[in-house]
Amino acid sequence: MDAKRLTIIFSLAMLVFASHLQAVSEPAITSQCGPGRPLEPLSGPVEAEQLTTDTLLTSSKDQASLIQTVCVPPGVPTNPQTVLSGMQVTFSWSASANAVHYLLKQKTNSSLAGEIYIAGTSRSFTGAEGYIYAFQVSACNDYGCSPYTTLSNTVTLPAKPSTPPPPAAAFEVDKVKASWSPISGVTQYWIQQSINGGTWTNETNLGSVRYLYVPATANARYQFRIKACNAAGCSGYSAGSNIILVTKAATPSLSVGAGTYVNNASIALSSTAGATIRYTTNGASVTVNSAIYTSPIAITSNTTLMAKAYKAGMLDSDQVTAVYNIKPSTPTISPGGGSFNGATTVSLGSPTSGATLRYTLNNTAVTASSAVYSSPLNISSNSTVRVRAYKAGLAASDEASATFTIKAIRPTISPAGGSFTGSTTVSLSSPTSGATLRYTLNNTAVTSSSAVYSGPLTISSTSTLRVRAYKSGMADSDEASASFSIKALTPTISPTGGTFTGSTTVSLTSPTSGATLRYTVNNTAVTSSSAVYSGPLTISGNTTLRVRAYKSGMADSDEASASFTIKVPVPTLVPQSGVYDNSTMVTITSNMSGATVRYTLNNTAVTASSTIYSGPFPLTSSATIRAKAFKSGLADSNEVSSQITITPFSKVKYIHSDVLGSVIAESDEAGNVTKKTDYKPFGESKDN
């Protein structure tokens, strides 16, 4: 046998074995096999093509035979279809022969779900809004299941409508209309309304109608909202529509209210934008035939004005009424009152042409019999001017008034204040004839009991002079004032500065009696705390002396100053000029303690860097000695000099002296004068 036949025999053996096991462990199969064809033994050689898994092989001790029995799965179901009724989805198909049950795969949107066991030939369920459904079905019995059908037709469930946009509201004649555009898939509309911002009420099912009219009530605000419905349900309510305010045209407003006006009144009328305003000026009620307002109405006489506004789609406004009375302008007074020095001229005027002006000067009310104004008034005493305008056919004007205070003229002060040294004389005068002048000198206000001025005043201390003029029947004048600063006289310094040798004595004096002198000697400004002068000052160094006088009740004096230069005294040089034998001792001394003496021997000027003298020294050759004294803080002294001639030693030297014993000459043995000495006053030698 070939390999193919061996495989078939093995497979048949396994099937027989499995059927024996099934006969032992499962109930007998009674109805799964179809009517089949008559069971006939298989005779002759069994070819492999004749053996399938639908063939059962049985055997016994006596014989073996193959018996073919028809037991197969059902065929594929037919006519699968999906039907939608409202939100109800139904899957159905035609029954398959020998089917015991069915397995269904449901496709929801794009997802194919697992198998569902179905006993019958349909399945119904409530779908989800907006979902897409289809299915496949397989018929099954105990011998297996058929292949699945192809995918059935699909059905799409309607989605619940989205919230619609708000409806549009509009006023039409005497109603408010809400309307909206059609919405796909919607089968009915519901609407609610809100009045004056209140709760949403009057829910109404309009079916497929897409508008609603509501009777309008004046001054009410209307708003609407809708919702859309279909088999899947209803949307939420839309946002509220635009708000429609149903109101009357506004009652016309008057730019100028009723009342009394000067000369005329211009009345502008306004109302609701676009409204037509009609009016009357004769007291008659306004009608649709009354005059149309186009520009401000000029009221020049007593008038009753009535007005009403009209606008299509709005109720007529209420009627407004205003009564206007016209009077002349209030007269003018120029100047408009005030305080004046001396008399003033007052003019009266009226802006109302043809009006007559009447006035009083004593602050009494003006009447139709008061004085008639014809020319400017001279006001020379305190007065209250009151004036009113009169014109035939008009009411009297309002009264104008002005108060005039006539004051004595402000006095003059000469000189008009300032800074003076020692004292000054001040004169007072008044331009108001017959006025009495009163004054104070201590900067207090002048009163009617202050000192009376009778002649020039001597101001000898710092003062503020205040003066006022008084005259019966006039207001007191304005106060004049002037400040006088009286300074102590400038002190004197004696001597007035200069260059001095050694020291000098300085005296300070003040022309101001009783003044205290204060001074500084270091060129700093004198203050009230500087040293007080009590006697002559000794100036022994370079100094700038500054001094000022102080006295209570007076300004400090100007400062006086003087510069003093103190020089070191001229040193004393010994010997004096002359001829000396062989050598001589030189001595230089200073009369000022602490001074340094410097000298030269070559007839050059002495400077601050010249040789310092430290003690007597011998001079053995001819020389011109020049010496000067130096001291810090003082000017250098004048120079002293001595011309010394040294000659060889002479055996004989004759000394010649005067009656006082002072050496005046020297001579040698031959009678030659070798040295001659003269003296200045007070014993100082001078060279010849």
**Cα(362)–Cα(81) distance, rounded to whole angstroms?**
120
Amino acid symbol at 448: S
In the prediction, which pLDDT does 67 show?
40
| Domains of the chain, residue spans | 3-68, 78-156, 168-246, 253-327, 332-407, 412-487, 492-567, 572-687
**What are phi and psi for residue 593, nearest 5 degrees?**
-60, 135
Render pLDDT for 501-518 as a digit per residue (tens, 0 to 9).
888 999 999 999 999 999
Average pLDDT over residues 11-20: 42
Q: Comparing 142-151, 226-235, 474-483, 653-662, which segment has the lowest mean pLDDT? A: 653-662
Q: Looking at residue 274, what DSSP letter applies?
A: T
Query: Residues 566, 569, 575, CA angle at the centre, nearest 5°?
Result: 165
Asked if residue 30 has pLDDT above 50, the reply is: no
How is residue 354 written in tokens? Answer: 């043809």
Spelled out in words, what is the top-level CATH class assigned to the domain 332-407?
A: mainly beta
Q: Which two tokens stand for residue 28?
A: 């007998």
Give me the pLDDT at residue 3, please. Answer: 44
CATH architecture of structural domain 492-567: Sandwich (2.60)
For 314-417, list the strands marked E by DSSP. Answer: 320-327, 332-334, 338-341, 344-349, 356-360, 371-372, 377-379, 383-390, 400-407, 412-414
Length of the chain counted residue by residue: 688
- Find out if CATH 2.60.40 is the number for domain 572-687: yes
pLDDT, tens only, 316-374: 888 999 999 888 899 999 999 998 888 899 999 999 898 999 999 999 999 999 999 99
Q: How far apart are CA 162 and CA 183, in angstroms?
A: 10
The listed CATH number (2.60.40.10, 3.90.180.10, 3.90.930.12, 3.20.20.120) that belongs to domain 78-156:
2.60.40.10
CATH class of domain segment(s) 168-246: mainly beta
CA dihedral of residues 268, 272, 274, 279 (deg, nearest 10)? -50
Using alpha carbons, select from 78, 82, 46 the residue that is nearest to residue 64. 46
Report the distance separating Cα 521 and Cα 537, nearest Å.
10
pLDDT score for 350: 93
Percent of the chain topping pLDDT 70 = 88
Arithmetic mean of pLDDT, 87-94? 93
Give, rounded to a whole angstrom, the gap between the first and last alpha carbons of the chain. 186
C-alpha 501/C-alpha 187 separation (Å) is 136
- Separation between Cα atoms, residue 228 and residue 191, nearest integer Å: 9
Confidence of residue 1 (pLDDT cuts 50, 70, 90): very low
Tens-digit pLDDT profile for residues 95-126: 999 999 999 999 999 898 888 999 999 999 99
Q: Which H/E stretch holds residue 303?
A: strand 303-310
| pLDDT, position 687 | 57
Q: Rounded to an integer, what distance in angstroms lies between the CA atom of residue 362 and that of residue 370? A: 12
Which CATH class, in words, describes the domain spanning 253-327? mainly beta
In this structure, are residues 159 and 130 in contact, taking their beta carbons and an 8 Å threshold? yes
Mean per-residue pLDDT, 226-250: 91
Of 590, 588, 624, 630, which Cα lies nearest the Cα of 607? 630
Neighbour-count burial of 463, counting CB atoms closer than 10 A to its CB (0-12 exposed, 13-18 middle, 19+ buried): buried
Q: How confident is the model at residue 657 (pLDDT cuts 50, 70, 90)?
A: confident
Encoding tokens for residue 307?
Answer: 């007005």
**Whether the Cβ atoms of residue 561 and residue 546 lie closer than 8 Å to each other:** yes
Band the pLDDT of 650: cuts 50, 70, 90: low
Nearby residues of 106 by Cβ (< 8 Å), 6 or more positions away:
91, 112, 113, 116, 133, 134, 135
pLDDT at 9 (0 to 100): 43
In the numeric block, the tokens 């001017």 are attached to: 385
Question: pLDDT digit string (tens) for 613-627?
Answer: 999 999 999 999 999
pLDDT of amino acid 36: 36
Query: Is there a common fold for 412-487 and 572-687?
Result: yes
Q: Which CATH number fits domain 412-487: 3.90.550.10, 3.40.640.10, 2.60.40.10, 3.30.70.360?
A: 2.60.40.10
The secondary structure of 144-203 as a DSSP string is EEPPPPPP---EEPPPPPPPPPPPEEEEETTEEEEE----TT--EEEEEEEETT---EEE
**What is the average per-residue pLDDT within 540-559?**
93
For residues 41 and 57, the answer to whether their CB atoms sit within 8 Å is no
For residues 468 and 481, give the distance between their C-alpha atoms in angstroms, rounded to a whole number: 9
Contact 359, 371 (CB under 8 A): yes
Supply the pLDDT for residue 649.
64
Structure tokens at 665: 């000459």
pLDDT of residue 300: 83
